[in-house]
Amino acid sequence: MHSINKLKIVNDPIYGFITIPNELIFTLVEHPYFQRLRRISQMGLSYLVYPGAHHTRFHHALGAMHLAGRALDVLQFKGVTFSDEERSSLLAAVLLHDIGHGPFSHAVEHSIVHGVSHEHLSLLFMKELNDQLGGKLDMAIAMFTQEYDRPFFHQLISGQLDVDRLDYLKRDSFYTGVSEGAINSERLISMLNIHDNKLVLEEKAIYSVEKFIIARRLMYWQVYLHKTGIVAEQLLIKLLRRARSLLKVGQNLAMSSDMRFFMEREDYQNFDSEVLHRFARLDDSDILWAMKQWVDHPDSVLSRLSAMILNRNLLKISLQEEEFSKAEIDHHLQRVSKELKLPLDEASFFVFSGSISNQAYHMDRDAILLLTKKGDVMDVVQASDQLNLRTLSTPIKKYYLCFPKQIY
Amino acid sequence: MHSINKLKIVNDPIYGFITIPNELIFTLVEHPYFQRLRRISQMGLSYLVYPGAHHTRFHHALGAMHLAGRALDVLQFKGVTFSDEERSSLLAAVLLHDIGHGPFSHAVEHSIVHGVSHEHLSLLFMKELNDQLGGKLDMAIAMFTQEYDRPFFHQLISGQLDVDRLDYLKRDSFYTGVSEGAINSERLISMLNIHDNKLVLEEKAIYSVEKFIIARRLMYWQVYLHKTGIVAEQLLIKLLRRARSLLKVGQNLAMSSDMRFFMEREDYQNFDSEVLHRFARLDDSDILWAMKQWVDHPDSVLSRLSAMILNRNLLKISLQEEEFSKAEIDHHLQRVSKELKLPLDEASFFVFSGSISNQAYHMDRDAILLLTKKGDVMDVVQASDQLNLRTLSTPIKKYYLCFPKQIY
Amino acid sequence: MHSINKLKIVNDPIYGFITIPNELIFTLVEHPYFQRLRRISQMGLSYLVYPGAHHTRFHHALGAMHLAGRALDVLQFKGVTFSDEERSSLLAAVLLHDIGHGPFSHAVEHSIVHGVSHEHLSLLFMKELNDQLGGKLDMAIAMFTQEYDRPFFHQLISGQLDVDRLDYLKRDSFYTGVSEGAINSERLISMLNIHDNKLVLEEKAIYSVEKFIIARRLMYWQVYLHKTGIVAEQLLIKLLRRARSLLKVGQNLAMSSDMRFFMEREDYQNFDSEVLHRFARLDDSDILWAMKQWVDHPDSVLSRLSAMILNRNLLKISLQEEEFSKAEIDHHLQRVSKELKLPLDEASFFVFSGSISNQAYHMDRDAILLLTKKGDVMDVVQASDQLNLRTLSTPIKKYYLCFPKQIY
Amino acid sequence: MHSINKLKIVNDPIYGFITIPNELIFTLVEHPYFQRLRRISQMGLSYLVYPGAHHTRFHHALGAMHLAGRALDVLQFKGVTFSDEERSSLLAAVLLHDIGHGPFSHAVEHSIVHGVSHEHLSLLFMKELNDQLGGKLDMAIAMFTQEYDRPFFHQLISGQLDVDRLDYLKRDSFYTGVSEGAINSERLISMLNIHDNKLVLEEKAIYSVEKFIIARRLMYWQVYLHKTGIVAEQLLIKLLRRARSLLKVGQNLAMSSDMRFFMEREDYQNFDSEVLHRFARLDDSDILWAMKQWVDHPDSVLSRLSAMILNRNLLKISLQEEEFSKAEIDHHLQRVSKELKLPLDEASFFVFSGSISNQAYHMDRDAILLLTKKGDVMDVVQASDQLNLRTLSTPIKKYYLCFPKQIY
């Protein structure tokens, strides 16, 4: 009890204050597994585009938990009842929903622990913490895994209008300075309700939901899928892939022993407690540190990629709606191979294409529901008189081609 | 020159400071015709719904002029050239674009000077001021009336992305506290350009334009067409209509002589200098003052309507997509006639129906154009990959029915 | 009960939402006496300096009530207990603390109801409302008049750190755009506590209190005692004085009957229910309306003063630390008498001097107290290690001289 | 020219946009020495107290440069003239004023490059860049070193009201969420002027200056000298000291070769180009990475200190106005020595005292000057009628004692 008072309140530029509501949450926040999130950037390498974007997973997790508390307050005010344990479990589940993220969040999901999603790792962390806490997270885990019998708790953790999104869209917009992406989280939350144990919004929320979907769409194209951001992320993935193949052929590469452990491994299915503990020691500094050492490595692909990211000397990128032709890619490959004096397979680290896609709203899964004054429930897609949410549900796919600027 | 320094800078909660850029603008701002706008509420009776909404036409006009200056700065930075006179004329035209508004802005357009639009009155004011200033507003007037040969100046004054909208949407959202309606005016302006003497936006503005249109749509439904706001506005129109008919039959009604001048008149086509000068003496206080006197008037319709508005004791309102049936209206009329002991024709001041409509984007007139990197121009409707702006261009019509609460 | 839902929540640009917490408060808000405050400007004529400053007593009263609720939440969280009636009474008292203000707030206190303070009128209104509500405001009145036996309730209503100041400093700073005057009301409230039934602040609040006092000082000099604002206010006082003396000699002046009632009266001590009801019919529009009529009045002092205020064509003002010499005043009087062709006693309506004063902190009355971690209480004056609050307690007096610009 | 367009505009949550004004500034920003600042936290370990405080030296440097540009705009508007080279040089000097900061800003100044100030290193960097750029920074360096003959340029770079402070106080307040510390940089800048080649403020700025000084004072006590922040910083200094002594006795410690280079060195006076280049490879990740490896080191002092910082499991701290007695310190030393089974000299890594001090305003050096309307110049200390700035100029010293919580 004593210790609680010390961290009871956390300053937050967005909500003013975030209160740590009870001993369980305090214990989780204090845990080294959670403190680690202070060293993991929420937006990966996006700070190369938006220099303000250095906020962390730690801060986002606290923010989402704060919104979860606000959502429960609103629901309670409207007559929804729940136990103290349910409240605490929801907050715990929200707090831990992203604890499985590795260095630079998404970028590394595809390279360091290839094939293991951060959601899966979050669950492993929760189970480990649950063991340490003697089962106090049983209900939180059930909510997280959709096994709890009041589905709205899961929807608040993970859904099309969950507190995760409500926090990160607002937070990312705030820290990047892309103020157009700002959503009014508090307003949306104030219109939440429960119907048949499912999350719904009051009918009048329709215009706010539309604006939320459009703001999210804007954040995707302008921030999360920003051209320079794509280049940086792809370069990091290529770099780690290169490092991995150099390790395989026995080359010496400076890196932390924990990072080496994962970089030398192929199979990540067997994530026991010990492997998890090693994973929990990784953060952004492992990657940054390694890149800084690799700048001097004799392998020119490795050193060049490292320097490009560190010094923000990135590739050019073209974006279009059709796939790039093999001819166009080959043209760049040939050119780069000649200019940089690299064999074609190594030139492909600097010339590559791929695709990104974005879907503003998912019609099929977990629709956002409105509750009319008469007590009927309808999908926002039906409710929106004009904004064609059906169209907004079509995924948009774009193709990119990255290549170095021509040397004159 | 001396006097300029006195009012050079005006504090504005939204833009920080607004600078009065030159002597001409200073003279216009100082003119009693413009100072009058300090006493005309920008949003009519909307403060009965949003208690913060007491900002005035004066402040909005300054804000729009400020944005016009910013727009010219941006265009100049991009290589568009214009003379000092063009700059000054644009600012003057923007400053005066709404000077023709009467008391409570739109409400009274339909009752005090029946059939004369505020745009027309603005032009009359401009011409009058131009006479007083020896022709210094010639070019401003040409820009306002679309006769100036560089059409983009007119588009900045009046178009689907003019500085009028860019200011009032932001300002109304700010003062009402409906923060979801906020638009990023500065961002949109930073993406303006000129192509073939027409206003265009850089291609990347597409998501910002989408958000602008959605925010505008939200402001319409949530603020400008708010149910309680409709009731208040309609009651005011009914009240003035009643007053007018009482005057016609020779009843005595307290009001200012200027107001009486217009209330006793039927035809407003002949707006000479003198009539205009009288009009310029009207402001919100004429209406408020009259209502306060009428509360004690023997005519129960007049006194009741006055008290309803003053004490915010308004009618109920239903909104629906189909017209209300005659039966339903009659039912209320009969009830109210009985409850209030009024003949049916007088009951109709308290039971009435009508319609409102809203069109988020107009496809046909003055489309918002995007300039692609390749130099092509296209309508945002084409450019928006998903958001069906075509659908958003369909006008939405809703029907309302107002009636007093049942007395039990 | 039904009706509550209609106005349950009010949008506020500052706090987001203000909730009407119960039936009693709802009834008070709905009362015509309270609705009247919608037509009384919070900052008098300050909008002639800061065009955004059109917010009303209505909005401020709601805001202060909102903060009172927040303060009680904080105190409750810290273990202070109080009954539902105490909560409701505090909110009611705060809501009504300024209900006695007349047109243009302070300006008219000195001219329309000469010698009757707005606090006294507020109490009369509360008693009248209490009669209408069958004694439901007994406790609120006791709190307001310092007769309630838990003095901290009164301190929240009226003291050096009351919710009145916490709201108006923030609100006035917001609407004027003088963002430097902004105080962090929520932060200060979060550090409130009760000790020996008196309001105290946690020790760590010391720097926030310092900043609060400095911000208040800044708002005084920059806003409340702004030179142009002083001129405008004094001109209004002079104007009403002139009107009063013209009435006395039997001249005809257009004005509302309610305004005439007070303008023809000398003695305001006998404020019975009926007089109060008449007073409750006055608002800003009475003054504005009268000025507009008086612009054409044959008395050149009356007409000139009216036009000066309406068209913001104000006097010049000098400010200094010593009294202005009789010689200097006379010089201007003579000049103006000649230029305007007015006898000296009438010239004195355009040439006059006076003084203003400002005291950032009052040491003697109702000190702001800090509660140390060890449980001791001390005056902020002692606690502030460096900021000499003792010096800030000295009232600062400045003298002004107003006069018309020289005509060349 | 081509490349400029790419990074022309940077998003900034505080100022909206920051423009890179010319080719020279662009080249500097692109330089790896400057890009390195992206990896150096502006506020050291303060994010352990304020989780939002992850902004970097990179962002602050851009912000300060932006304000320098605004200051020049204001001065130019007021008739001060300067050449394009002067403008560009000022911006360059401001941009680079902090480039000499090492990992975690101040913390490491005392341990990694013991005895070499960051200002000195900034100058070395400027000279190095000047060599690379063929003398283009000559004037910027002269301004930085006070050798340029218009002293106000230096005052904008470094003084009691320089753009450095104007940016960092605002930025740190923004990112920590300590909104009370916010200053109105734009307002202060708008009141700048030059008199006798020295920076002055218009007289009316006095209240804003007062508020600036009080806000700065608040930020010091609440943020920069926050108790938990002091503990974290001191622990980091102790940790590096321990590492250094272990290296000296030949122990093996994982760290980057660049860090080792500095950790094994005693004398830093000879900072040639090569040493500087090595220094430029250090950033926060070197420290974080090393700590993570050291957690497993056999030396229990090293491992324990590392874990304490990483997991935010810090020491307790007492603060008082008198020095702590030897007896009190010894008491804790003895206790900790016993509890942790450490010899006394090693226990002193966990029990230590020291002092901090804070001076809100410096009267002696480079006073803030006000320019009266009559053209006189006076020190703000004289001008402030009440706020005793003389008292605020006394340095305040406090003593701290850090120790581990008692184990029960």
**B228 close contact with A: CB closer than 8 A:** no
CB contact under 8 A, A51 and D12: yes
Q: Which residue has the higher pLDDT, C126 or C206?
A: C126
Tokens of A151: 């589905």
DSSP string, A16-76: EEEE--SHHHHHHHHSHHHHGGGGSBTTGGGGGTSTT---BHHHHHHHHHHHHHHHHHHHH
ipTM field: 0.94
Helix B300-310 and helix B284-294, axial crossing angle in degrees, nearest 10: 120
> How far apart (Å, rounded) are the C-alpha atoms in residues B341 and B360?
43
Local structure of residue A221 (DSSP, 8 states): I
> How far apart (Å, rounded) are the C-alpha atoms in residues A302 and A349?
9
> How far apart (Å, rounded) are the C-alpha atoms in residues D68 and C191?
37
Contact C289, C269 (CB under 8 A): no
**Does pLDDT of C4 surpass 50?**
no
Measure CB to CB from residue B288 to each of C59, C285, C292 and give the nearest one: C285
Lowest mean pLDDT among A303-312, A385-394, C191-200: A385-394
Tokens of A27: 């214990």
How many structural domains does chain A have?
1
Local structure of residue C56 (DSSP, 8 states): B
> How confident is the model at residue B1, as a pLDDT?
30
User: What does DSSP say about strands D198-202 and D369-371: parallel, antiparallel, or unpaired?
Assistant: parallel
> How confident is the model at residue D407, as a pLDDT?
61
User: What does DSSP say about strands C369-371 and C198-202: parallel, antiparallel, or unpaired?
Assistant: parallel
> How confident is the model at residue A187, as a pLDDT?
87
Lowest mean pLDDT among A166-175, A230-239, A378-387, B15-24: A378-387
User: What does DSSP say about strands C396-403 and C352-358: parallel, antiparallel, or unpaired?
Assistant: antiparallel
**Does pLDDT of D172 surpass 90?**
yes
CA distance D227 to chain C (A): 12
From chain C, pick out residues whose CB is under 8 angstroms from the CB of B310. Answer: 32, 35
Confidence label for A60 from pLDDT (cuts 50, 70 and 90): very high
Measure CB to CB from residue A186 to each of C16, C186, C190 and give the nearest one: C16
Tokens of A116: 């293991």
**Dihedral sign for Cα atoms in the order C261, C267, C270, C276:** positive
Can you give the C-alpha Rg of chain B in angstroms? 23
Residue C231: how many CB atoms within 10 A of its CB? 21
> How confident is the model at residue D387, as a pLDDT?
67
> How confident is the model at residue B9, as a pLDDT?
84
From chain B, pick out residues whose CB is under 8 angstroms from the CB of A360. Answer: 386
User: What does DSSP say about strands B369-371 and B198-202: parallel, antiparallel, or unpaired?
Assistant: parallel
**A190 close contact with C: CB closer than 8 A:** yes
At B371-397, the pLDDT tens digits run 988 889 988 888 876 666 777 788 889
Q: Which residue has the higher pLDDT, D118 or C332?
A: C332
CATH number at residue A138: 1.10.3210.10
**Does pLDDT of B329 surpass 50?**
yes
CA distance D212 to chain C (A): 9
pLDDT above 70 covers a percentage of chain B that reads 97
Q: Which residue has the higher pLDDT, A307 or C381?
A: A307
DSSP string, D338-361: HHHT--HHHHTTTSEEEEEEE-S-
Paired strand residues for D369: D379
> How far apart (Å, rounded) are the C-alpha atoms in residues B94 and D251?
75
Residue closest to A388 by CA, chosen among C348, B218, B391? B391
Measure CB to CB from residue C288 to each of B285, B292, B313 and give the nearest one: B285
Measure CB to CB from residue C386 to each of D210, D222, D392 and give the nearest one: D392
At C288-303, the pLDDT tens digits run 999 999 999 999 999 9
Confidence label for A286 from pLDDT (cuts 50, 70 and 90): very high
Confidence label for A407 from pLDDT (cuts 50, 70 and 90): low
> How far apart (Å, rounded) are the C-alpha atoms in residues D246 and C260?
92
**Does pLDDT of A180 surpass 60?**
yes
> How confident is the model at residue C5, as a pLDDT?
41
Residue B273 located in a structural domain: yes
The pLDDT mean for chain C works out to 92
Half-sphere exposure of C80 (CA within 13 A, CB side): 23
Paired strand residues for A318: A401
Local structure of residue C25 (DSSP, 8 states): H
Residue B302 located in a structural domain: no
From chain A, pick out residues whose CB is under 8 angstroms from the CB of B386. Answer: 217, 360, 391-392, 394, 396
Residue B386 located in a structural domain: no
**Does pLDDT of C3 surpass 70?**
no
Confidence label for B2 from pLDDT (cuts 50, 70 and 90): very low
CB contact under 8 A, C388 and D385: no
Averaged over A327-352, what is the pLDDT? Answer: 96
Rounded to the nearest angstrom, the gap between the alpha carbon of residue C47 and the centroid of all alpha carbons in its chain is 14
Most confident of A8-22, B96-110, D245-259: D245-259
Averaged over D238-248, what is the pLDDT? Answer: 96
> How far apart (Å, rounded) are the C-alpha atoms in residues B245 and B264?
9
> How confident is the model at residue A35, as a pLDDT?
98
Q: Tell me which residue range forms the domain holding D57.
A: 1-408
CB contact under 8 A, C387 and D392: yes
CA distance D380 to chain C (A): 15
**A126-A132-A133 Cα angle (round to 5):** 85
**Does pLDDT of D1 surpass 60?**
no
Which of left, alpha, beta for C404 (phi over 0: left; psi -120 to 50: alpha)? beta
Contact B35, C312 (CB under 8 A): yes
Residue B247 located in a structural domain: yes
**A17 close contact with C: CB closer than 8 A:** yes
Rounded to the nearest angstrom, the gap between the alpha carbon of residue A61 and the centroid of all alpha carbons in its chain is 11
**Does pLDDT of D65 surpass 80?**
yes
Whole-model pTM: value is: 0.90
> How confident is the model at residue A246, as a pLDDT?
97
> How far apart (Å, rounded) are the C-alpha atoms in residues D68 and D51?
29
**Does pLDDT of B93 surpass 80?**
yes
Sorted by sequence, the CB contacts under 8 Å of residue B267 that are 6+ apart come out as: none
Contact A210, B215 (CB under 8 A): no
**Does pLDDT of C377 surpass 60?**
yes
> How confident is the model at residue C82, as a pLDDT?
96
**B385 close contact with A: CB closer than 8 A:** yes
> How confident is the model at residue B387, as a pLDDT?
67
> How far apart (Å, rounded) are the C-alpha atoms in residues C137 and C152?
18
Residue closest to A60 by CA, chosen among A193, A171, A176, A155? A171
Q: Is A115 helix (H, G, I), strand (E, B) or coil?
A: coil
Q: Which residue has the higher pLDDT, C3 or B356?
A: B356
At B233-286, the pLDDT tens digits run 999 999 999 999 999 999 999 999 999 999 998 877 778 899 999 999 999 999
CB contact under 8 A, B38 and C51: yes
At D189-235, the pLDDT tens digits run 999 999 999 999 999 888 889 889 888 988 999 999 999 999 999 99
CB contact under 8 A, C210 and D221: no
**C323 close contact with B: CB closer than 8 A:** no
Lowest mean pLDDT among B23-32, B115-124, B292-301: B115-124
In the complex, which subunits touch D with 3 or more CB pairs below 8 angstroms? A, B, C
Helix C284-294 and helix C300-310, axial crossing angle in degrees, nearest 10: 120
> How confident is the model at residue D2, as a pLDDT?
36
Q: Is D176 helix (H, G, I), strand (E, B) or coil?
A: helix
> How confident is the model at residue D6, as a pLDDT?
43
At C132-180, the pLDDT tens digits run 999 999 999 999 999 999 999 999 999 989 999 999 999 999 999 998 8
Confidence label for A9 from pLDDT (cuts 50, 70 and 90): confident
At C347-369, the pLDDT tens digits run 999 999 999 998 878 877 788 99
Residue B348 located in a structural domain: no
From chain B, pick out residues whose CB is under 8 angstroms from the CB of A211. Answer: 180, 211, 214-215, 218
CB contact under 8 A, C391 and D392: no
Averaged over A281-292, what is the pLDDT? Answer: 97
**D359 close contact with C: CB closer than 8 A:** no
Averaged over C216-235, what is the pLDDT? Answer: 94
Tokens of B340: 């209030």
Paired strand residues for D400: D319, D354
Tokens of B325: 């049936």
Place of tokens 């178009």: B159
> How confident is the model at residue A408, as a pLDDT?
54
**C324 close contact with B: CB closer than 8 A:** no
Local structure of residue C312 (DSSP, 8 states): T
**Does pLDDT of C407 surpass 90?**
no
> How far apart (Å, rounded) are the C-alpha atoms in residues A188 and A364?
22
**D208 close contact with C: CB closer than 8 A:** yes
**C317 close contact with D: CB closer than 8 A:** no
Residues in chain A: 408
